[in-house]
Chains A and B, each alone.
Chain A
Amino acid sequence: MKQFRVLLAALAVSLPAGFGHADDHSGFNGVWHLAAKQNALVTSTGTAPPLIVAKGTTDDTDRCLPNGIPRLFLRGTPFRITVGSTMVGEFFETDHAFRLIYLDTPHYDAIAPAYLGQAVGKWDGDTLDIDVNQFNEVTWLDNTGLPHSDKLHLTERLSLDRAGKLHDLITIADPTDYKAPWQTELTFTRSAQTTLAEHYCLKEKGLL
């Protein structure tokens, strides 16, 4: 009996920290950052994206305009995920930006196209399916100048693996700038930071 209890305790301790209960998805909660530094998005097969226009050369984030999605994930700073019952929030250290993913609801007509688009989502078991549209065309997709138009449509599948890592499988569809839809995947690990630092670009660039 004692051996059985020891076995149970060992099993409980060995469960990865990110492995949450399937019904409340609490395993997604917390502060995350990219598992490895990454500046460029590549396709899931490791090739360059099928771009049909030139890369961007003027980076508007230099004058403190927002980074956009998925570039915010590539800035090397952490972000927090908070899973609610009707929304999932992603709160970024960079730009003090936030993205609200409204659950089980259709897209709505935005007042204007947005830097981070408009996101809706639904749970497919333990995976969060996210659908994002209504982007403006100001941002880059990554740090190397991958452009996009206002026709950009992202679908994402956010999931946890058994080791507690977070995976975001992103499908990028933009018929204006890319030959065909393509996929890329970002991997995140839990950050040692439990709070997010403040980031105010204008102040940091000495414009204030």
Chain B
Amino acid sequence: MSQRKLKERLSGGGLVLLGTLLAQTFLALLFAPAAIAAGNAPAVSINTEDQTSEGVAPPGLPPPPSDPRDLEGSWYPFTAPGSGPKGPPPGNAGGSNLPGVKAAKSIFDNDENSPYSVELCNTPPLFLGTMGVAIVQSKRTLVVANEEAGDYRVIALGGTHPKHFVANRKGDSVGHWDGNTLVIDAIGFTLQDGSPSDAHVTERIYKDQNNTRLNDLVDVFYPSTGRHESRDTTYRWRPDLRVSEEVCEEGYAAFAIKNGKLVITE
């Protein structure tokens, strides 16, 4: 290579090098204020979307199972505005358990969100709860332990409803996988007064957001009226929490409601 061509090559490379240095200097000057500000920012920023019924999820939690069909763990519902439970479903009669009320009885009257069901203290969880839930999952069974009701619900995976089933407060739940969504079919409910309900519940549970969120979409259909009720709740993975013991009956140790009247028992 001639000296002239070598000089040309070197000067070309030098220009490239100079241009690179200038670009880097420009970019550093452009972002320096933000970098300096970040150095003074709090070490942990609060993501308000992570607000659950037990506060914001702390950083550094162990990761959830990577299998989208593994629902096991402790889950707490979101309470941040716009991300928590959507409230009572439309058409919830609320007071339909009062004596003399003739309104169509809603299965949600059995649920802990009814203003009367918690007082009566015999309300099993029909869906995932409004407080923490723990899910224990084996190959054939998924059991939801509900903190608020101090009760549990058993879902037979891949099973069918038994032919001879005695209707009860919890009904009978069977589930199957639709892709990575667990679809639960529940029938055989009775209401608080023991009368049968024709409610047919379809519940779809699936994880998203890197398996840190659990979505519970509930649809209740009443064939007798053609009416639908729905409830959607999103839960956050909280392995730092454990479902605590809630004993509704403690409140009844000193009094009870009998035939609609308050009775002191001790």
Contact = CB atoms under 8 A, between A and B. Distances in A.
B252 A85 contact: no
Contact of B138 (A26, A65, A197): A26
Interface in A174-208: 195-198, 200-203, 206-208
Interface string B135-162: 0111111010100001110100000001
A131 to B, nearest CB: 15
A127 interface: no
Contacts of A206: 258
14 contacts: A65-B250, A82-B137, A82-B138, A96-B124, A100-B134, A115-B245, A115-B247, A198-B124, A198-B170, A200-B122, A207-B252, A207-B265, A208-B257, A208-B258
B244 interface: yes
Given A65-B253, A208-B257, A89 B143 contact: yes
Contacts of B65: 85
Nearest to A97: B150
A196 B170 CA distance: 11
A14 to B, nearest CB: 23
**Chain A interface extent, by class:** 35 or more
Given A63-B253, A66-B247, A87-B72, A203 B136 contact: no
A84 B265 contact: no
B98 to A, nearest CB: 14
B168 A197 contact: yes
B154 A80 contact: yes
B244 A98 contact: no
Q: Among the interface residues B73, B137, B152, B168, which one has the most CB atoms of the partner chain A within 10 A?
A: B152
Interface of B: 65, 70, 72-73, 120-122, 124, 134, 136-141, 143, 145, 150-152, 154, 162, 166, 168-170, 172, 242-245, 247, 249-250, 252-253, 256-258, 263, 265-266
A195 B143 CA distance: 12
Nearest to A110: B244
Given A98-B145, A197-B168, A208-B120, A202 B252 contact: yes
Interface in A79-102: 80, 82-89, 91, 96-98, 100, 102
Nearest to A194: B162
B152 A96 contact: yes
A41 to B, nearest CB: 23
B256 A202 contact: yes
A29 interface: yes
A102 B242 contact: yes
User: Which of B137, B151, B245 has the largest number of chain A CB atoms within 10 A?
Assistant: B245
